Structure 1
Amino acid sequence: MAGVTGGLGRGLDALLGGGKGVDENSASEASIDARQIDIDMIVANPNQPRKEFSPEALKDLSESIRAKGVLQPVLVRPVLGRKDRFELVAGERRLRASKLAGLGEIPALVKEMTDLESMAIALIENLQREDLNPIEEAKGYQELITKFGLSQEQLAGQVGKSRSALSNSMRLLTLSEPVQDAIGNGKISAGHGRALMAVADDAARDELFDRLMSSGLSVRQCEGAATYFKEHGELPEGEVVAKPKPGKSKKKEPKEIDEDLEILKSRLEEALETKVSFSGSQKKGKLTISYADEQELERLVAILELRS
């Protein structure tokens, strides 16, 4: 399978065979048929990567649909051997909200596609909308690789991610179920999960997780505890503070950024999966985004273009 370099939109573009996304206005009439479909004729996608749907968000969307209708069609594919059944590929929130709003029909794009295309498009659409939590995202990647025998490099090309970013995401699935549940429920971040993975001993990792849940440790505090464990074979009693190296003059401490910028910094590092730094204040300053190579730079540019 040919890889697609670039952002998620370009990966979706390739899978749709040249279209510009799951949008009626950009779909090729030759390959995609747009029509109104009876909601009861659409069956659920068994490979939907997103498992959790906010009841409040669905209610809000249903009220909007009741007032203005469905503004963007869902994407479906015909069910083999059935003229009266279509399998949902993308747009489950819109479908659920339309049912909640009492609609009998929904605008849909109908396209023939393989199982791989269907799964990949469902995954990519959710990633584009940031609808997946880190565990759902990792499980979606794993399922595509397992079901279709793809390499990480092949899959990375299809979803517009670097292979290292894909690998880092899937490594979260090596964590215990309680840790995965905490990440999936938003109680801790994927950054916390990666810090926990650095603790090789299962008992020590469980202990650090318990501390994290009870004390609300930051990602940096977890990373410090993991580093301490690597060096000493045990977790520290309290928060780890780096000591200056012997013989070195004490360097001037960098000016700390305010709490709001620190939160934004953590959010950016989580979203971009790379190191960022701020200087200045929220009113005026400089934001620096780090990258390791040309491929990483292209990935970051694609993400920023997608969000512009």
Structure 2
Amino acid sequence: MKMKKVETFASIFGEDHSEVPSEKTDGTTSLRLEDLIPFKNHPFKLYEGDRFKDMVESIKNYGVIVPIVVRKIDDKYEILSGHNRVNAAKEAGLTEIPTVIKEGLTEEEATLIVTETNLMQRSFSELAHSERATVIATRHHAMKSQGVRNDLLDEIETLSKAPDLAQDETCGPLDHKLKTRDKLGEEYGLSPRSITRYIRLNHLNNGLKDLVDEGKIAMRAGVDLSYLSEDNQEMVEAIISEDTFKVDMKKAALIRRYERESKLNWNTAQKIISGDMLKSTGKVKPFKLQPTIISKYFNPNDDKKAIEKTIEKALDFYFSQMKNQSSDIEEGEEMIE
């Protein structure tokens, strides 16, 4: 395939962004749009509506300023960074696009380019839950891996024209002074527990991730469902999609329990997801607290309604603490460390 040389990498980004040694930079070439293919299982939502129209108009007026990043796959080039630019360039009537071709990448390194460059072009708060899960899980794996090239992580910033990202020793991508969950929590403004949940969420299949993004599965419920086998995830996805049910934490926890007990099948899953199982098993027979328990914590003159309210708050606090302790052990120690 014929490729023509265009502007150099340094001339596009400027000399002040040339932190990557020149011998590690491929330079920029122009590739035909018809020779490009999307990244397999691309995890990010593509631009649409006004945002896409604005990009098309910008390209019509100024061209594609920041080159896309690709790697060669057989006789095609797989897009690592620039899916929106490619789509907008096609809409703008272009036939070629400036490109940086990366060679010798591992699958991990290719995925890291996909996630990091997308994050640099958008705010983390803009991302859907599934997109956040992909970003965090990929970065977490990279931070714990000894084989990821430091130069590639630095070059990702240059490829995305993001010199404002922290580069010092305490904030570098592979800094190990803090635990990986704590480090990621600082970067993304999340608690270590939330980081752990997003990493777990990345174990959902793509269909269930979409349902989390659509709000049909609560985020915390998605964490529970991520422990299901692939077959059971597909079954749950089919049931939710078929009848447009929603899954909250109670339903997800019950589904997971039934799988552990080898009782989960289509009928039981359907009853849980529809709410029928909870209706039949969720009622507790009324009972009275022993007077000795009441007198232990309350005064004889306390109002009955106030006592009930206090007991309710105490139970809410107790069960939330039990849930958090279980979450820390199961999601933190077992999976992360």
Structure of larger gyration radius: 2
Structure showing the higher helix proportion among its residues? 2
**Normalising by structure 2, what TM-score?**
0.44
| Larger RCO (CA within 8 A; separation ≥ 6) | 1
TM-score by length of 1: 0.47
